[in-house]
Copies of this chain bind each other. A is one copy, B any other.
């Protein structure tokens, strides 16, 4: 009876703390890798005692799982879907647009994902096997139909998807290299639009759509 009235308040602290922990963990996992990121370093970045981290997430692997899940949800939402009726040009344009904006907005999510794949995708083989494979096959079929109808050049649809993935994610994953080469400290407002314009232009022309 004495603490019935602060259930909600407690819940808010819980959610806030978990969010802070996940954000801190994402950064640490990117900078130090899974093994290199210590629970202590995550705690320091989240400005919470180490024991609290383990109170909320039980162990380090659970934190990593939570971070990965979070990342995949983003991947899923951010891409949106392709509307078959709009034709190849609009479809590719929208797809590139969405992926580039995601890369610039959530570079850490892209990096976590990339590292996971590079290291063998131990934690998300199932995701690629089921969800992604299906997604790629569906979209590839759609592109193939457009090719068969003479609406775009005869390019391999699956490799086209890989090309768009790699070219767009590159701006998140290789941020450091790109900025160093361009002699800049950070990306600027214009960069997103410029990259979208460049990639849309080149890829659409490459697909015989310009």
Residues of A within 8 A of B (CB): 30-36, 111, 114-115, 117-121, 125, 128-129, 132-133, 136, 153, 155-156, 158-160, 162-163, 165-167, 169-171, 173-174, 176-178, 180-183, 194-195, 198-199, 201-203, 205-208
Given contacts A35-B36, A163-B202, A201-B206, list 6 more A-B pairs with CB under 8 A: A32-B119, A33-B34, A121-B180, A132-B180, A133-B183, A158-B182
Residue numbers in B under 8 Å from A178 (CB-CB) = 162
Can you report 19 A-B residue pairs in the complex whose CB atoms are below 8 A from each other? Answer: A33-B34, A33-B35, A35-B36, A114-B173, A118-B174, A128-B177, A153-B205, A155-B202, A156-B194, A162-B167, A162-B174, A163-B202, A165-B170, A166-B166, A166-B167, A166-B174, A167-B167, A201-B206, A205-B205
Given the complex, which residues of B lie within 8 Å of A208, measured CB to CB?
205
Q: A31–B34 Cα gap in the complex (Å)?
A: 11
A56 to chain B, nearest CB (A): 23
The answer to whether A118 touches B114, judged by C-beta atoms less than 8 angstroms apart, is: yes
CB within 8 Å for A156 and B125 given contacts A115-B115, A176-B117: no
Determine how close the nearest CB of chain B comes to the CB of A107; give it in whole angstroms. Answer: 10
Q: Are B155 and A201 in contact, CB atoms less than 8 angstroms apart? A: yes
Complexed CA–CA distance, A31 and B181 (Å): 28
Q: A31 touching B159 by the CB < 8 A rule?
A: no
Is A117 a contact partner of B174 (Cβ separation < 8 A)? yes
Q: How many copies does the complex hold?
A: 2
Q: Compute how far the CA of A163 lies from the CA of B203 in the bound complex, rounded to whole angstroms.
A: 10
Nearest CB on B from A146, distance (A): 15
Q: Quick one: which of B117, B170, B171, B176 contacts A177, CB cutoff 8 A?
A: B117
Tell me the complex Cα distance, A33–B174, Å: 17
Which of B120, B136, B207 is in CB contact (< 8 Å) with A176?
B120
